[in-house]
Amino acid sequence: MNKEILVVGSINVDTTIYLDRFPKEGETINASYKSVAAGGKGSNQAFAAKRSGANVHFLTALGKDQEGDFLLPILQKEGLDQNVVFCDLPTGNATILVNQAGQNEIMIMEGANGFISPAVIEEKRELFEKAQFIVLQNEISMATNEYILKRYGDSKTILYNPAPAKKISQEALRKAAYLIPNETELALLTGTSNIEEGARYLLSLGVKNVLVTVGSQGSYLFNSKGQHHCAPHLVKAIDTVAAGDTYLGYFVGSLAQGLSSEKAMETASKASAIAVTKKGALPSIPTKEEVQAAHI
């Protein structure tokens, strides 16, 4: 069994700058290394799901510019170029600072990612009708996310990653089959830093499953059956960019291939641990073979 996944989301050109530490306000410091690669939460999640062995489609937008020309062959190589929409906005960009501990600070220019509108969703409705799983995050228009959640939440399994954290209506939120925040996003959504309290509140709104990723503490799944904790794989982190996206992509990819939520969490945790041992976003996402062979 390999059900179809549709990821609707962003793609960016990521410029990553590696530093010993983050600069203070007004301070200039030397960088040790710079890389330019494909990224964006949508593409990271689509690539991770694809590399997990799942059947994945990716609806995204590129500008008709040099950055778009850079990203298109990368999508083609991964087999995720069939549903690219081209527009006159500049291709999305992100600048990422990474310190010696592997922590990151990220600045994003939305650009073409904002072109994905409810009208585009209607033009591509055949994709939505064929998919069993739909993956969303907050690097596209919130109006578009709300439209998809309300239109397809009752008929499809929607996994919604509320990152970066933004306001969304309770009516749309309760349509998510899996809401997948980290602990910071959970606190912003619920007003509490207590993970269980926050998750229970979201369940009370009608969300079926709340899956909270907590970095070095692993991940927690809350639903009507109770609570499940997946322990992390402890590794030395070099770069945590795309760690959460790798987790989500492998989680939905594992569900689509027939694994239970608990087994999917274990696979996703392992894939995410591998990702943080490498530099960059898309380049750090492991293949299914790497995950199966890793002893961590």
**Residue of 81, 97, 3 whose CA lies nearest to 47:** 81
Q: Which helix (H) or strand (E) holds 109?
A: strand 104-109
What the block records as the tokens of 17 is: 């700058």
Distance CA 259, CA 270 (A): 15
What the block records as the tokens of 163 is: 């990152």
Those residues with Cβ within 8 angstroms of residue 11's Cβ, 6 or more apart along the chain or in another chain = 38, 39, 40, 42, 43, 60, 61, 62, 71, 75, 91, 92, 113
**Residue of 225, 270, 230, 262 whose CA lies nearest to 246:** 270
**Residue of 55, 108, 112, 45 whose CA lies nearest to 82:** 55
Distance CA 5, CA 54 (A): 8
Q: Is 88 a catalytic residue?
A: no
- The catalytically annotated residue of 14, 65, 239, 245 is 245
Query: What DSSP character marks residue 182?
Result: B
Compute CA distances 191 → 42, 144, 201, whole Å: 26, 25, 10
**Contact present, 135 and 9 (Cβ < 8 Å):** yes
Distance CA 225, CA 241 (A): 32
Distance CA 136, CA 162 (A): 8
**Residue of 146, 111, 159, 224 whose CA lies nearest to 3:** 159
Residues identified as active-site: 245
